[in-house]
């Protein structure tokens, strides 16, 4: 559910907040690896563009208060403190300067399950843990950056600085394709909870990082409160794929555990240079954690704080290319195209009638062979545009029927979160 497999080496990327507890137990839930269908693992077509929503400012809407328009003093991200690593600083100093800008995030979600005795469905509450970074404040609120996957299923979210006193948070905006989100806490809520002493994190320039630099990861590991782990920058500009989405990340050997998602990776200047988001799990694999670079995070912050959640054109399928090599060993296939391994419910793909195991061979009257071609066309047309797909559908006897399907391009950031 929270990871995808690299089939070449057998590694599994875990999003390290993937840590769920029922309220009545402390058992850590099992993580589920992504799986392929005969033809190999899929590439998730959460196809994204970079167009802004066009709003002059941003909103938070609740059922109780209706539309609550938020005006802030935000005019762009603050400059970084320094431009080079301070090799003489101690890890103790690094943590002291940053700790009060890092929050523990506790998420409550209502889940639905079927009754084993055929008496209908029932609801139960789960708890999960994550982390966040305070990056800005105005007269009324503090603003916190975290991972999208930390809050995507939330019904309520609370933050804590001292892991004792908590205050409720509200959703501001997110960019699912970058796995980043912004939440806010009213200062009146902080005062009522007795929360004081928070600080605002300084973000460094991740483009200046060098392999071998000392870094510290700070976050709410295992949901047991804030902790720090030290290491180095192991590699830069690493390409990783989580749940079918590609990311460019910083690799570190600083230990990243469940609950660390959304927390900070800091340099020796106590600047945030990464947002911790994933680790590799596999036999014999240790010390391979990943962080979203701070320069990526700053761009997302600026977008959300000035325009709201960006529109991201989205079809809603997972799939993979059917190549000449695959045709050679699967002669029953109708030809080159895109094998659809999964269709997400409520998306343009599912509403248009696309199904898992369909094979897409045509797009808007022209042949199509690759996911990359489909992605480019979805980005070009944008949210609300229509796709005309030529599809082959297989029955149980491996016989194919040719279909024409119309699908409307959706927005992967629209209406996903409301707390």
- Tell me which of 281, 307, 333 is where a domain ends: 307
Model pLDDT, residue 53: 26
* Domain CATH number, residue 366: 2.30.42.10
Asked whether residue 417 is domain-assigned, the answer is: no
Q: What is the mean predicted confidence (pLDDT) over 159-188? A: 95
Q: Are the C-beta atoms of 387 and 363 separated by less than 8 Å? A: yes
Q: 72-117 pLDDT, tens per residue?
A: 567 675 444 444 566 678 999 999 999 999 999 999 988 777 766 6
- SS3 letters across the chain: CCEEEECCCCEEEECCCCCEEECCCCCCCCCCCCCCCCCCCCEECCCCCCCCCCCCCEEEEECCCEEEEECCCCCCCCCCCCCCCCCCCCHHHHHHHHHHHEEEEEEEEEEEEECCCCCCEEEEEEEEEEEEEEEEECCCEEEEEECHHHHCCCCEEEEECCCCCCEEEEEEEEEHHHCEEEEEEEHHHHHHHCCCCCCCCCECCHHHCCCCCEEEEEECHHHCCCEEEEEEEEEEEEEEEECCEEEEEEEECCCCCCCCCCCEEECCCCCEEEEEEEEEECCCCCCCEEEEEHHHHHHHHHHHHHHCCCCCEECCEEEEEECHHHHHHCCCCCCCEEEEEEECCCCHHHHHCCCCCCEEEEECCEECCCHHHHHHHHHHHCCCCEEEEEEEEECCCCCEEEEEEEEECEECCCCCCCC
* Domain CATH number, residue 236: 2.40.10.120
Dihedral, CA atoms, 255, 80, 181, 5, nearest 10 degrees?
A: -40
- Tell me which of 280, 307, 334 is where a domain ends: 307
Within this chain, do residues 108 and 185 fall inside the same structural domain, yes or no?
Answer: yes
Residues acting as catalytic residues: 149, 179, 261
Asked whether residue 394 is domain-assigned, the answer is: yes
pLDDT at 364 over 90: yes
Within this chain, do residues 303 and 317 fall inside the same structural domain, yes or no?
Answer: no
Which residue, chain included where needed, has tokens 């059917």?
322
Distance CA 381, CA 311 (A): 12
Within this chain, do residues 8 and 142 fall inside the same structural domain, yes or no?
Answer: yes
**252 vs 244, residue with greater confidence:** 252
Evaluate if pTM is beyond 0.75: no
Distance CA 57, CA 73 (A): 11
pLDDT at 193 over 80: yes
Within this chain, do residues 158 and 91 fall inside the same structural domain, yes or no?
Answer: yes
C-beta pairs of 162-169 under 8 Å, 24+ apart in sequence: 162/195, 163/104, 163/220, 163/225, 163/226, 165/193, 165/194, 165/195, 166/106, 166/193, 167/192, 167/193, 167/195, 169/105, 169/144, 169/419
Within this chain, do residues 241 and 349 fall inside the same structural domain, yes or no?
Answer: no
- Band (pLDDT 50/70/90 cuts) for residue 143 is very high
Token reading at 92: 């103790």
Q: 17-55 pLDDT, tens per residue?
A: 545 443 322 222 222 222 222 232 233 332 222 222 222
Model pLDDT, residue 121: 73
Within this chain, do residues 277 and 322 fall inside the same structural domain, yes or no?
Answer: no
Within this chain, do residues 49 and 143 fall inside the same structural domain, yes or no?
Answer: yes
Model pLDDT, residue 276: 96
Q: 324-356 pLDDT, tens per residue?
A: 999 999 888 999 999 999 998 889 999 999 999
- Band (pLDDT 50/70/90 cuts) for residue 195 is very high
Within this chain, do residues 258 and 363 fall inside the same structural domain, yes or no?
Answer: no
Within this chain, do residues 50 and 110 fall inside the same structural domain, yes or no?
Answer: yes
Domain span holding position 238:
3-307
Q: What is the mean predicted confidence (pLDDT) over 191-209? A: 96
Please state, for a pLDDT cut of 90, what percent of the chain lies above it: 58
Q: Which of 25-34, 149-158, 262-271, 376-385 bottoms out in mean pLDDT, i.e. has the lowest?
A: 25-34
Within this chain, do residues 254 and 370 fall inside the same structural domain, yes or no?
Answer: no
Contacts of 146 (CB under 8 A, 6+ apart): 105, 130, 131, 132, 133, 180, 181, 182, 183, 261, 262, 275
Model pLDDT, residue 357: 92
Within this chain, do residues 258 and 277 fall inside the same structural domain, yes or no?
Answer: yes
């Amino acid at each position: 559910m929270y990871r995808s497999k690299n089939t070449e080496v057998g590694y599994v990327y875990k999003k390290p907040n993937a840590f769920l507890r029922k309220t009545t137990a402390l058992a850590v839930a099992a993580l589920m690896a992504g799986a392929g269908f005969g033809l190999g693992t899929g590439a998730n077509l959460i196809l994204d563009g970079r167009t802004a929503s066009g709003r002059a400012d941003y909103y938070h809407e609740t059922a109780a208060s209706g539309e609550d328009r938020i005006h802030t003093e935000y005019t762009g991200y603050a400059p970084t403190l320094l431009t080079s690593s301070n090799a003489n600083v101690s890890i103790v100093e690094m943590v002291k300067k940053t700790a009060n800008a890092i929050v523990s995030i506790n998420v409550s979600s209502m889940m639905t399950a079927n009754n084993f005795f055929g008496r209908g469905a029932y609801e139960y509450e789960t708890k999960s843990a994550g982390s966040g970074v305070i990056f800005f404040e105005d007269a009324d609120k503090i603003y916190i950056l975290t991972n999208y996957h930390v809050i995507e299923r939330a019904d309520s979210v609370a933050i804590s600085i001292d892991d004792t006193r908590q205050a409720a948070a509200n959703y501001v905006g997110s960019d699912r394709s970058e796995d980043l989100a912004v939440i806010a806490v009213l200062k009146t809520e902080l005062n009522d909870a007795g929360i004081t002493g928070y600080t605002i994190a300084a973000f460094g320039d991740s483009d200046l990082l060098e392999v071998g630099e000392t870094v510290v990861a700070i976050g709410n590991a295992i949901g047991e409160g804030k902790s720090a782990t030290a290491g180095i920058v192991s590699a830069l500009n690493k390409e990783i794929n989580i749940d079918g989405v590609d990311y460019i990340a910083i690799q570190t050997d600083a230990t990243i555990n469940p609950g660390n998602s959304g927390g900070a990776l800091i340099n020796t200047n106590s600047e945030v240079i990464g947002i911790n988001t994933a680790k590799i799990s596999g036999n014999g694999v240790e010390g391979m954690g990943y962080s979203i670079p701070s320069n990526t995070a700053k761009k997302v912050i600026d977008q959300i704080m000035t325009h709201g959640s960006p529109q991201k054109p989205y079809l809603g399928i997972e799939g993979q290319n059917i190549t000449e090599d695959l045709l050679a060993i699967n002669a029953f296939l109708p030809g080159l195209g895109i094998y659809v391994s999964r269709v997400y419910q409520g998306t343009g793909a599912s509403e248009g009638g696309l199904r898992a195991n369909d094979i897409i061979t045509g797009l808007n009257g022209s042949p199509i062979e690759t996911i990359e071609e489909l992605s480019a066309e979805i980005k070009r047309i944008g949210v609300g545009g229509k796709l005309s797909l030529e599809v082959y559908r297989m029955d149980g006897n491996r016989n194919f029927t040719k279909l024409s399907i119309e699908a409307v391009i959706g927005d992967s950031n629209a209406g996903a979160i409301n707390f």
